[in-house]
Every structure is written in structure tokens, then in C-alpha cells.
Amino acid sequence: MSTKTDADLEGDRRVLTLKNLMGRSLILNRPEALNALTHPMVLAMKKHLLGWQKSDLCNVVILRSNSPRAFCAGGDVVRVSSEWESGNQRGAMQFFWDEYSVNHLIASYEKPVVALLDGYTMGGGVGLSVHAAFRVATESTVFAMPETKIGFFPDVGATFFLPRMDGQTGVYLGLTGQRLKGRDLVYAGVATHFVPSERLPMLEKRLQEIDVVDYDVVNRAIEEFVAQPEAGQMEYSLAGVRDAIDRCFRFNKVESIVEALRQETEAEGVVAEWAARTLEQLMGMSPSSLKLTLEQLRKGRTCSIQESFALELRLAERRLSSHDMHEGIQALLVRKSNDPQWQPSTIDAVDMQKLHAEYFETRGNYEMQFLDPANFEEYPHSYGLPSEKEVGEFVRGENPQAGDFGLTRNEVVAFFVKGSGHKIGVKEKVNWVLDRKTRLLPDSSVLQWIK
């Protein structure tokens, strides 16, 4: 009989399992730390996910929390930093290796995975959920990738998923750590569905009853519990500044982004206020993290899912060797003084040529090994709202189903509504995109896409 180690016991205590009918649930159970991931928790999840993938008694996997406050607020970076600083560099890197391999396993899982994002979903919690085929937000969901604030960079597959969000939204979220809440996640593409938290127990029970491995069946089951938004309303906090986000965050230099934001502050109204807040956010981040993150996300546009995690492992090793990551963790999470002393202390002082050579041209000492061979350029399943890219391709006739003739607004909206099975929110988002991105041809009802 094998004897469990202390790490095994911690993993079993902090990651609970529920088996009912054909459903299997992984339940994060570290509420006192908002379910921040420890290494034993990651290993426990890996063990169960690998076992359930092979089991004929499992048709769907559900990821959730035992606490209404948080799904998972991140990884236990304090412990990782401490291990590295004490000389256990391999142990610190092993955490990231195992975390990223579990993230990739979820992205490539051969059965439907449903993540219930009730409460704080940040950092490592995003890695556990955003790669799942189904991501369910509630009115309590708070999403963020705040890594630049602690001198790190958005990891857990952010290299892959942030650049694939609408326009420059992902770059904006990755640099600033801006939070999205509730329905924001659906309109931004982070979540596929919005279900009120009071309905989650019923949803979990319904998913457990599914007697076939079928993504469309799972999607229809979740749709049974989705809440309708107020008639015709776009409940999206970024709606009023989406175009400004693209104007400011389209540049390849952080200095240019900062200058664009400063220019926006000279106007009046919502956009000027947003630009001022965003500048304040950026000025509080590690300057080297900002430049590293922007370069990472630009490269991510052409990275496959495996290339993304391999790059992040290399960046994590280099970042653990830096001053800023440990300083940021100490100032914000240990001392809680919120006064990190960054080195360099300003954006202009960061030598981009030196940074690029150190982080992107130097091989690391650790290589990713994946639990599943799957590799892809785009996620294999798409159950969220249409992206701005998809709407644009259809309006411009680049989608073969668009035909050879110009399209009216009603025709475009009808195509996406019908194609989604009349999914809640599709009509509102497509109309919103068309309002911003199209105009009518002269003396016509045909739409023209505005570059």
C-alpha cells in the first residue's frame, strides 16, 4: 500500500471531488486564501483530470469553488518567490511547469469542461478557466490579470488568449490589470455564458445528468439557465471606451501608448476620464513588466497554444531572476505597503534592446513537456458571442457564407443569431459592433465596414 505524502494530503484537502452520475466536479477548497493555487493543488487537479479523461463513467468535468467569494484569485506566488529566494529554484519552476501543463490539458481536454467562475477569478484562476470550452460568469464574477502590478507578466496562457480578444482589449487588460465584472466577461469573450449564482447548483446537477460526450448538448444545457439581460441593453463596462482602447493600445511601444493616453485626456467626457485613470494605473506598474508584457502579447498573436506556454515558462524563469518580481510580491502581498521600488523606476529607463535579448533571445534552463500532444492556432470550440473579427469578416464578404452581394444590418444580425441557435446576447453584441464599425453605402441599406 502506498503512503501519501504531506503534499498529497494537502492536495486532497484543498481540491475536493464530487462524482454524481456522469459528471465529475473539481472543487477548490482553500477559501481563507481565496483559493490561491498551491503546488499540491495543481498536482491534485492534474491527477483527477488525467483519470477522468480516460474514464467511461465521465462525460463532463465541472470546475468550481467551495466559496462564494472566489473561484480562484491566483497562484501562491509568495511561496514560489520564497522558494526561489531560498535557493530552491527547481522547486519554484516546477510549480509553473505543472501549472502550465494543467492549463494546456484543460485547453486540449477530450471531454467538455465547464468552469463556474463565481467570485474572484484572477491570474492562476483565469488559467484554470479561460481555456475551458465553457466558462460561466455570474453577477459576482471579478476577472483580472494583475501581474504587472507585482513585477511579473500575464501568464497561464495569456500569451495565447489575450491577443485573440476583440481589437486591443486583451493588451489593455494585460498591461493595466483592469477588472471585468459579471456580464462584462461575456461581451469581452472571456466567458461563454452568464448564469445567476443562485442557479449554479441546479446547473451542476443538470450537467451531471448528461449521458453523452457532446459539446453541443452541454451548451444547450447551460443555455437553459442563462439569464436575459434587460431588453436591448449592452451591460458592458468597456462599451463607451472600446474605440479609445484600440486607438491607444495599438502601438508596439509602451511610451507611444502612454502618449496616446495623454492626448485622450485633453478631450472631455467619459473617454478623457478613462484615459486619466488608465495612465494612473500604468504608472503604478513595474516599468520592465509593462515592456515585457507588450512584447509578449505582440508575439502571442502568431504563437500556437504550445508555443505560448513554452514562451511563458522561459519568461517566468527570467522574471524570477529579476529584482522587480520579488520586490512587487513583497510590497503588495507580504508587507502590503503598496510601495514597490522598481528597478528601473521609469518606463523610459528600461532598455528594450537589453530586455528583448534577455527574455526572448536567451534559452531557458527548463523546457515545457505537455500532458497532451494537442496543438492549435485557435481554440477548437467556440460557444461565446461572435467576435468583432468574425462580424467584420462576414460584413466584408470574407466569410464564404456571406455570398457575393452587400449585406444589410438585418441580414448580418440574422446570420449570427440563427447560427448561434438564438443565443442570448448575440443580437445586442452584433448590433453594437455594427454601430461602431460600419456605415451605410450612399442611397443604400447595404453596410460598409470602416477600417
- What was the pLDDT predicted at 3? 73
Annotated catalytic residue 390: no
| Catalytic site includes residue 75 | yes
* Close Cβ partners of 442 (under 8 Å, ≥ 6 residues apart): none
Of 124, 174, 328, 425, which is the active-site residue?
A: 124
pLDDT tens readout for residues 305-361: 999 999 999 999 999 999 999 999 999 999 999 999 999 999 999 999 999 999 999
Instruction: Categorize the per-residue pLDDT at 404 as very low, low, confident or very high, splitting at 50, 70 and 90.
Output: confident
Does pLDDT of 232 surpass 70? no
Q: Of these residues, 23, 74, 75, 167, which one is catalytic?
A: 75
Report the predicted TM-score, pTM, of the whole model to 2 decimal places.
0.96
What pLDDT is recorded for position 414? 97
Residue with cell 443604400: 444
**Own/partner pairs, 401-407, CB within 8 angstroms, 24+ separation:** 406/441, 406/444, 406/446, 406/447, 406/448, 407/446, 407/447
The 10s digit of each residue's pLDDT in 185-214 is 999 999 999 999 999 999 999 999 999 999
Catalytic residue, from 98, 118, 155, 390: name it: 155
Half-sphere exposure of 8 (CA within 13 A, CB side): 5
**Please, what is the end-to-end C-alpha distance for the chain in angstroms?**
66
Task: Say how far apart CA 104 and CA 372 lie, in whole Å.
Answer: 8
CA dist 132 → 75, 110, 113, 270, 397 (Å): 18, 11, 5, 34, 30
- The three grid cell numbers given for residue 161, joined into one nine-digit string: 488568449
Number of residues written out for the chain: 451
* CA nearest to 263, candidates 240, 286, 247, 284: 247
pLDDT digits (tens, 9 = 90+) for 70-121: 999 999 999 999 999 999 999 999 999 999 999 999 999 999 999 999 999 9
Active-site residue flag, 124: yes
Any idea which residue has 461563454 for its cell?
A: 192
Task: Select which of 99, 147, 264, 312 is catalytic.
Answer: 147
What is the Cα–Cα distance from 177 to 197, expressed in whole angstroms? 24
Q: Say whether 85 is catalytic.
A: no
Which of 377, 315, 312, 367 minimizes the C-alpha distance to 159? 312
**C-beta separation of 78 from 336 below 8 A:** no
What's the alpha-carbon Rg for the chain, to the nearest Å? 22
